[in-house]
């Protein structure tokens, strides 16, 4: 599936007529089972890791086709990319571009190489246009005697490419054109971004271990974003839809991720090395890409034939994408090193003898430690700054791949595993969290189309649960809900509301608190948070924060706020612990710490205003320090001290971060006593939502505080924000595109206990 094939048909093409290209495929699962028998690799008993049949590991094909814990098992067959007929006399083949930028950022070197096919090509013209279209470089090079072309060119004072959270995305155009003596024979033009890239792993001032920070153009970046799975269980339906819309599916999804303030996408290894369309868009939109190689959750064979094929696929796939400025890391696989440690496969990191590995039950190590690095060396990544990272998660430290102090970490002790409370995402933090997540159902609209029969639309129907493939999902969802909310399983609307709010709270709690730990040079305690997962490949109840039909769940918006250019955070600290016998009583948390974060490269003077209210009545509660003036440090978090919360168990505190003049609201956040199940809300908070005709926004007010106001506009709302907490005394403006004359409705946590929801009034 990962190695393109071509067939020379020049002999047939010389005769006129009609030709048929016939491709023959064998049923993939059946073939893979035969391969498994043939290869005869003796694995440990514990090699079957729930995801699909283990024969999948013997066939180089997207592993999710065997089904995953978020998608159906449909081992599709057939070509998944377009088939071309190419006609040429001479052409440039295997063009590879390897850019790099020096430490002082004033010079870029671009290595260009290609094979020249056909005999007539004599020289190559390399033209580089700068981002404004002017000529940056124009040079002619001869084709050498063996038909190869390899040259390095230099550009002075390059215009640097940045992730969108930190700067612009200038793109050069590189044109490579092949000539005989006078005539142009073939040309290829490619966009090229220039940036300096380093993966920083250095010791930290105050804590053990090392950082794991992408440094772009000498600036450390907090990598904020999500994990990407293949866009559909039938891939061509996503990559080449029949009714091609004006915007490609990739553009719609990646633009949405960018609009959610995400700057990093991890392409998970159970899918594909993403398409050229995907990478071009990430370059254009300023998204960083972590690309896994194509292995996930398993113990793969590593016989010579298999390794040779893997090497070839890696060279082909990575040569195709290596020049993209968005590509920042190539990772060997998803979770296989972690599993080796967890299941006790024959893995002794000290033992460097391949013969020994091949006698044991973890042969895949040969691929990860030898085959893939060799392939990437052949591609030539060593001067590009793109690192090879053995596995995800990985620490490089003994058998414990999933370390909190080194490398990247997958945090699954929340939701999976022992189901720790989501509030413990903070102590579970690692240096770079490449996976963590929380399940929720999609929107009611999506549920209505995925369950056409109304009688099946219940949170406990088999049909509903059949769309949730997560192990133990039902127990996990209801356990977390019981712990946090006075939730409802029925009607389905309320269940969906509760489950979505829970996901929204959990993932934004994690990211807001981890980003607080990106504290500047030597203090990068956490430099990345990638939520599992951005997308779905069918209508599912899954960890996705946006559903299959591109409808963002509330979590998309709570994350968007936690990842904004500027954010303000509040955390309640325990002031009195309970004696163990008072098990059900929450601890007293009467001290509020306040911090801000900024992506700006400059210092930013800000004003912080705090306002507190009694939750049940909406009456104002006086605070000792309602105003703070301070300065946000550049590109990191800044602490603003602590204040007391009077009657903390019944008081909500809202914080507003304004610019130095107090005119522009940069961020806001509302802190609630937890767990929310003990909170007494007003039975009638008198929420109003006003829509001004012709305006793409609504204005929300309330008399008593409300938690998690989710707005809906008719059939489909295109909201700039949602799932907001609202307190008295503010007019909260929420943008919504293409509102037209749609009706707007809102619901909030526990509105079913009193006056239900709100309908907007038009003015």
Q: What is the DSSP string of 166-188?
A: TS----EEEEEEEESSSSEEEEE
To the nearest whole angstrom, how small is the minimum distance from the Cβ of residue 534 to ligand BMA? 12
CA–CA separation, 336 vs 300, rounded Å? 9
Q: Is 335 part of the annotated catalytic residue set?
A: yes
To the nearest whole angstrom, how small is the minimum distance from the Cβ of residue 227 to ligand BMA? 7
Distances, alpha carbon 110 to alpha carbons 102, 113, 154, 172, 682, in Å: 11, 10, 6, 12, 64
Would you say 188 or 466 has its CB closer to ligand BMA?
466
**Cβ contact 265:288 at 8 Å:** yes
To the nearest whole angstrom, how small is the minimum distance from the Cβ of residue 429 to ligand BMA? 17
DSSP letter for 386, please: P
**Cβ contact 728:703 at 8 Å:** yes
DSSP letter for 335, please: S
Helices 473-484, 492-515: inter-axial angle, 10-degree rounding: 80
**Chain center to CA of 546:** 11
From the list 2-10, 68-76, 343-351, 553-561, the region that binds ligand BMA by CB under 6 A is 68-76
To the nearest whole angstrom, how small is the minimum distance from the Cβ of residue 68 to ligand BMA? 5
To the nearest whole angstrom, how small is the minimum distance from the Cβ of residue 273 to ligand BMA? 17
Interaction of residue 70 with ligand BMA, rule CB under 6 A = yes
Name residues whose C-beta falls within 8 Å of residue 351's C-beta, 6 or more positions apart in sequence. Answer: 357
From the list 63-71, 112-120, 346-354, 722-730, the region that binds ligand BMA by CB under 6 A is 63-71
Which position among 55, 284, 313, 335 bears the catalytic label?
335
- Please identify which residue in 435, 468, 536, 751 interacts with ligand BMA, judged by CB under 6 A: 435
Give residues 404-433 in contact with ligand BMA (rule: CB under 6 A). Answer: 410, 412
Interaction of residue 68 with ligand BMA, rule CB under 6 A = yes
To the nearest whole angstrom, how small is the minimum distance from the Cβ of residue 530 to ligand BMA? 11
Would you say 123 or 343 has its CB closer to ligand BMA?
343
Please list, residue by residue across 427-454, b when 16 or more beta carbons sit within 10 angstroms of its beta carbon and e when fewer do. ebbbbbbbbbbbbbbbbeebbeebbeee
387-389 vs 327-331, strand pairing mode:
parallel
**Chain center to CA of 700:** 31
Interaction of residue 80 with ligand BMA, rule CB under 6 A = no
Residues 679/683/684/690 CA torsion (nearest 10 deg)? 50
DSSP letter for 447, please: H
**Which residue from 405, 433, 333 is spatially nearest to 373, judged by alpha carbons?**
333
Would you say 435 or 674 has its CB closer to ligand BMA?
435
At 203, list the tokens.
């010791």
CA–CA separation, 644 vs 624, rounded Å? 7
Interaction of residue 505 with ligand BMA, rule CB under 6 A = no
CA–CA separation, 325 vs 308, rounded Å? 28
Would you say 296 or 713 has its CB closer to ligand BMA?
296
From the list 64-72, 119-127, 172-180, 304-312, the region that binds ligand BMA by CB under 6 A is 64-72
CA–CA separation, 326 vs 744, rounded Å? 38
Would you say 72 or 586 has its CB closer to ligand BMA?
72
Would you say 422 or 485 has its CB closer to ligand BMA?
422
697-701 vs 688-691, strand pairing mode:
antiparallel
- Please identify which residue in 69, 413, 493, 721 interacts with ligand BMA, judged by CB under 6 A: 69
Question: Site for ligand BMA (CB under 6 A): how many residues?
Answer: 12
Give residues 513-552 in contact with ligand BMA (rule: CB under 6 A). Answer: 532, 543
From the list 62-70, 212-220, 394-402, 572-580, the region that binds ligand BMA by CB under 6 A is 62-70
The helix or strand, by DSSP H or E, that contains position 708, with its residue range, turns out to be: strand 706-713
Would you say 35 or 69 has its CB closer to ligand BMA?
69
Interaction of residue 55 with ligand BMA, rule CB under 6 A = no
620-621 vs 627-632, strand pairing mode:
unpaired
To the nearest whole angstrom, how small is the minimum distance from the Cβ of residue 49 to ligand BMA? 9
Give residues 315-344 in contact with ligand BMA (rule: CB under 6 A). Answer: 334-335
Interaction of residue 468 with ligand BMA, rule CB under 6 A = no
To the nearest whole angstrom, how small is the minimum distance from the Cβ of residue 690 to ligand BMA? 41
Would you say 160 or 331 has its CB closer to ligand BMA?
331
**Cβ contact 411:435 at 8 Å:** yes
Would you say 212 or 412 has its CB closer to ligand BMA?
412
Give residues 280-309 in contact with ligand BMA (rule: CB under 6 A). Answer: 296-297
**Which residue from 439, 664, 411 is spatially nearest to 543, judged by alpha carbons?**
439
Give residues 691-710 in contact with ligand BMA (rule: CB under 6 A). Answer: none
Give the position of tokens 């700067």. 167
To the nearest whole angstrom, how small is the minimum distance from the Cβ of residue 416 to ligand BMA? 6
Looking at the annotation, which residues are catalytic? 335
The residues of the shown chain that bind ligand BMA, judged by CB under 6 A, are 68-70, 296-297, 334-335, 410, 412, 435, 532, 543
């Amino acid at each position: 599936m990962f190695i393109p094939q071509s067939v020379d048909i020049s002999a047939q093409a010389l005769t006129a007529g009609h030709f048929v290209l016939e491709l023959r495929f064998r049923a993939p699962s059946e073939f893979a089972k035969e391969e498994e028998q043939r290869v005869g690799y003796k694995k440990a008993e514990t090699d079957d890791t729930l995801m699909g049949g283990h024969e999948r590991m013997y066939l180089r094909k997207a592993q999710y086709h065997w089904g995953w814990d978020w998608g159906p098992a449909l081992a599709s067959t057939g070509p998944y990319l377009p088939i071309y007929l190419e006609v040429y006399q001479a052409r440039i083949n295997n063009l590879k571009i390897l850019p790099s930028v020096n430490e002082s950022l004033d010079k870029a070197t671009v290595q260009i190489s290609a094979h020249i096919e056909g005999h007539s090509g004599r020289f190559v013209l390399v033209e580089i246009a700068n981002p404004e279209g002017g000529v940056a470089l124009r040079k002619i090079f001869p084709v050498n005697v063996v038909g190869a072309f390899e040259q390095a060119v230099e550009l002075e004072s390059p215009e640097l490419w940045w992730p969108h959270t930190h700067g612009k995305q200038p793109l050069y155009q590189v044109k490579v054109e092949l000539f005989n003596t006078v005539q142009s024979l073939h040309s290829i033009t490619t966009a090229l971004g220039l940036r300096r890239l380093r993966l920083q792993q250095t010791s930290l001032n105050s804590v053990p271990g090392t950082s794991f920070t992408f440094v772009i153009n000498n600036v450390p970046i907090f990598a904020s974003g999500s994990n990407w799975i293949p866009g559909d269980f039938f891939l061509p339906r996503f990559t080449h839809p029949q009714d091609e819309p004006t915007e490609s599916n990739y553009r719609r999804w990646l633009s949405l991720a960018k609009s959610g303030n995400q700057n990093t996408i991890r392409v998970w290894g159970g899918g594909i090395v993403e398409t050229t369309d995907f990478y071009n868009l990430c370059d254009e939109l300023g998204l960083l890409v972590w690309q896994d190689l194509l292995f996930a959750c398993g113990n793969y064979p590593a016989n010579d034939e298999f390794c040779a094929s893997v090497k070839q696929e890696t060279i082909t796939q990575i040569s195709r994408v290596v020049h993209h400025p968005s590509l920042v890391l190539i990772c060997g696989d998803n979770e296989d090193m972690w599993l080796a440690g967890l299941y006790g496969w024959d893995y002794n990191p000290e033992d460097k003898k391949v013969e020994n590995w091949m006698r044991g039950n973890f042969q895949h190590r040969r691929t990860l430690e030898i085959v893939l690095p060799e392939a990437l060396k052949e591609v030539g990544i060593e001067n590009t700054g793109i690192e090879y990272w053995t596995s995800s998660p990985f620490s490089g430290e003994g058998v414990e791949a999933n370390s909190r102090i080194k490398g990247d970490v997958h945090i699954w002790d929340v939701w999976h595993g022992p189901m720790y409370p989501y509030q413990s995402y903070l102590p579970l933090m690692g240096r770079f969290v490449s996976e963590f997540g929380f399940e929720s159902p999609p929107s009611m609209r999506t549920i209505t189309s995925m369950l056409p029969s109304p009688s099946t639309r219940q949170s406990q129907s088999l049909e509903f649960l059949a769309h949730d493939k997560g192990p133990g999902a039902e127990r996990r969802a209801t356990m977390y809900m019981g712990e946090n909310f006075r939730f409802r399983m029925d009607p389905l609307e309320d269940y969906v509301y509760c489950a979505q709010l829970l996901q929204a709270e959990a993932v934004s709690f994690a990211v807001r608190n981890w980003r607080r730990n990106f504290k500047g040079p030597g203090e990068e305690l956490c430099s990345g948070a990638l939520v599992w997962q951005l997308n779905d490949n069918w209508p599912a109840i899954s960890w996705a924060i946006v559903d299959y039909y591109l409808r963002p769940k509330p979590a998309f918006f709570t994350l968007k706020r936690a990842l904004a250019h500027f954010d303000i955070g509040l955390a309640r600290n325990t002031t009195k612990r309970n004696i163990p016998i008072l098990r059900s009583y929450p601890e007293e948390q009467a001290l509020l710490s306040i911090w801000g974060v900024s992506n700006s490269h400059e210092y930013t003077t800000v004003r912080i205003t705090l306002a507190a209210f009694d939750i049940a009545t909406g009456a104002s509660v006086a605070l000792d320090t309602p105003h703070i003036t301070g300065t946000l440090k550049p590109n990191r978090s800044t602490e603003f001290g602590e204040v007391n919360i009077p009657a903390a168990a019944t008081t909500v505190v809202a914080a507003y971060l304004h610019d130095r003049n107090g005119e522009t609201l940069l961020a806001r956040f509302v802190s609630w006593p937890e767990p929310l199940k003990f909170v007494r809300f007003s039975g009638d908070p008198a929420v109003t939502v006003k829509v001004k005709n012709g305006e793409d926004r609504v204005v929300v007010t309330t008399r008593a505080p409300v938690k998690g106001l989710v707005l809906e506009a008719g059939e489909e709302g295109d909201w700039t924000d949602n799932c907001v907490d609202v307190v008295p005394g503010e007019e909260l403006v929420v943008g919504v595109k293409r509102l037209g004359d749609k009706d707007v409705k809102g619901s909030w946590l526990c509105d079913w206990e009193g006056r239900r929801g709100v309908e907007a009034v038009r003015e």
